[in-house]
Amino acid sequence: MAIGFVCGTSVFPVIDKTLRGAGPFFVNQALAVIGLLIMLLESFGRRRAWVSGLGLIIGAMSRQMTVAYSIPVAYLALRMTDSGGRVKHVAALVAALMVVVLVPCTFNTMKFGNPLDSGYMYVYADRPEDQLSRDAKAYGVFSAHYVLRNLYYANLGFPRVHPIEVAGEQEVHLRPNRLGTGIWWTTPLLLWFFVDFRRIVREPLDRAWLLAAAAAYVGLLFYHSTGYEQRGFNRYSLDYVPVLMTLLAPYCTVGPRRWITVVMAAWSVVYFRWLI
């Protein structure tokens, strides 16, 4: 499962691009995954609210959608049986949320005079106009206009067909598209989710994590960008794929299913290492 996660999801190209070029979008995504993994580790481990709070800060300050994972952190804090422990855990969560909200709002006010203005549109000020910049100017950064496009690239996103002429003969080549690639056929391990869905939702903590992942996913559907440029992978999927992999881990390596899991993971490793 560890190999399948690190080498068989968009984690692999994101780490590669982070180490090669330190592009801010990929650094942010890598940091968000670290923050999310800290929260998951604590949630299914020692359950220390202050450590989960640090993970939430790292994640949400890097990728805002990961603030949704305050839901399972809050669930665990409120489930504490000892009242003193509950107060301590809730206080740690509130402190983390204050950092997540107040720090960017303060910087936004200092830079742009509005706590809700992140200045994101300045990204397009000196950039050649493209589909994403035109959409952002026409419909805003978040809009229902983007839902169908994001659904396609997040779930399917098949390679594009490029017809070319070589020595007078027509040839057809498949090239990964740059707007995003579907997670289900590049990381088929995630298909176990549909098999294990009922088992997952029977566990209260798993339900809390699944609800938070769904909230992050829905938020991404309304976002004007798919994560461009990402040839052959989908970096925004890392806002929720670590959660799905964690929820699936107890089931997909048990019994005869483990051999299917090995084949699935092997395909993903081959794809992300050699086919993009």
Query: What is the distance, to the nearest Å, from the Cα of residue 126 to the centroid of all Cα atoms in its chain?
Result: 28
Position 8 scores a pLDDT of: 96
pLDDT, mean of residues 169-179: 78
Position 121 scores a pLDDT of: 87
Position 120 scores a pLDDT of: 87
Position 79 scores a pLDDT of: 87
Tokens of 242: 């670590």
Residue 175's pLDDT band (boundaries 50, 70, 90)?
confident
Residue 52 near residue 38 (C-beta atoms within 8 A): yes
CA–CA dist 219, 79 (Å, integer): 27
The overall average pLDDT reported for the chain is 92
pLDDT digits (tens, 9 = 90+) for 223-259: 999 998 899 999 999 999 999 999 999 989 888 899 9
pLDDT digits (tens, 9 = 90+) for 120-167: 888 888 878 888 889 998 999 999 999 999 999 999 999 987 666 666
Position 125 scores a pLDDT of: 82
pLDDT, mean of residues 78-105: 89
CA–CA dist 112, 148 (Å, integer): 32
Domain layout of the chain by residue ranges: 2-118+130-275
Helix, strand, or coil here: 158?
coil
CA–CA dist 149, 147 (Å, integer): 6
pLDDT digits (tens, 9 = 90+) for 22-53: 889 999 999 999 999 999 999 999 999 899 99
Whole-model pTM?
A: 0.93
The DSSP result for 8-51, as a single string, is: SSTHHHHHHHHHHH--HHHHHHHHHHHHHHHHHHHHTTT--HHH
- Amino acid residing at 212: A
Per DSSP, 115 falls in state: T
